[in-house]
Structure 1
Amino acid sequence: MRNYEKGMIEHTQDLTCPTPAYADWQSAFQSAVQASEGNIRDCVRGSWADQVAREGWSPSDIRNHQKTDSWKQLESSFNASCKLSYSYLMRTAFEDAWKKADEACDERRMYVNQLVMGTPFK
C-alpha cells in the first residue's frame, strides 16, 4: 500500500487530467444554437419549396392553402423536423469533440494503476 501512495505522489502530474474549458464549450455551443436558428428557417423554406414543387401549386394555390389548417400542420411538421435535424447535428458534433478532448483522460483512467506504479502499459 505504501508503494501505491508513494507512486500517487510521484506521478501526480501524469495522473492529473487537464481541466476542460467549460466556459469556452458553453459559449461555442450557444453560438452554434444561435447560428442554427437561421439554418432551421432556411430548412423550413426549403421544405416548403419542395412541397410546392411536388404538388405543382401555383401562387394562387399557395394563397388558398395558407388559409387552411393543413398548411399550419405542415408548417409545424417542417419546423419540428428541421429543429430535430439540426439538434442532432449539433449534439453529435459537440459529443464527438468532447470525446476527442477527453481521450487523454480516458487513457489515464484505464491505466491508473500502471501510472501510479510506474510500469509500462503499452
Structure 2
Amino acid sequence: MEAHGGRKRIKVWRGRVGREELQSILREADVTVVPSLCYENSPTVIFESFAFGVPVLASAIEGVSELIQDGKNGLTFTAGNAEGLAGGLKWFVEHRRQWPEMSVAAEVSLKGLDLASYLDKLVNLCYSEALLV
C-alpha cells in the first residue's frame, strides 16, 4: 500500500461518528473496509457506504455476503484472514479503473433495500409462514 501512496491516504475510524462527519468521510472514501470477526447480519456502514457510491471490502460473514457482490459493488474475504484482507486492499489499488463502475453498482445495490421494501418482504414472509401452520 505504501508503494502506491496509500499510507498518506488511509484513514481509520472506529466506533460511532456524527452524521455530518460520516458524510464527510464517505464523500472522500475510495473504499470502506468492514473486517468484522463476529456475526453481523447487515452492518449499517455498508448501506451508508453504498448510499455514497463507496464499494465495500468486508469479511464474508452471514448477511454481509448477501449484500456484497464480489467484483461488482465490493469484495469479501474470509473473516480473520489477514492475507485475504491485504489481498482485497491490493486488488482495489491495482484495479482503480474499475472504481467508477463499482461506485455505480454500490448505489444500485440499495434498490429494494429501503424500509418499505423490507417491511413488505417481512409481511409476505410472515403471511406465507402463517399459511403453513
- Give TM-score scaled by structure 2 length: 0.27
Larger radius of gyration: 1
The structure where helix makes up a greater share of residues is 1
The structure where strand makes up a greater share of residues is 2
Higher RCO, 1 or 2 (CA under 8 Å, sep at least 6)?
1
- Give TM-score scaled by structure 1 length: 0.29
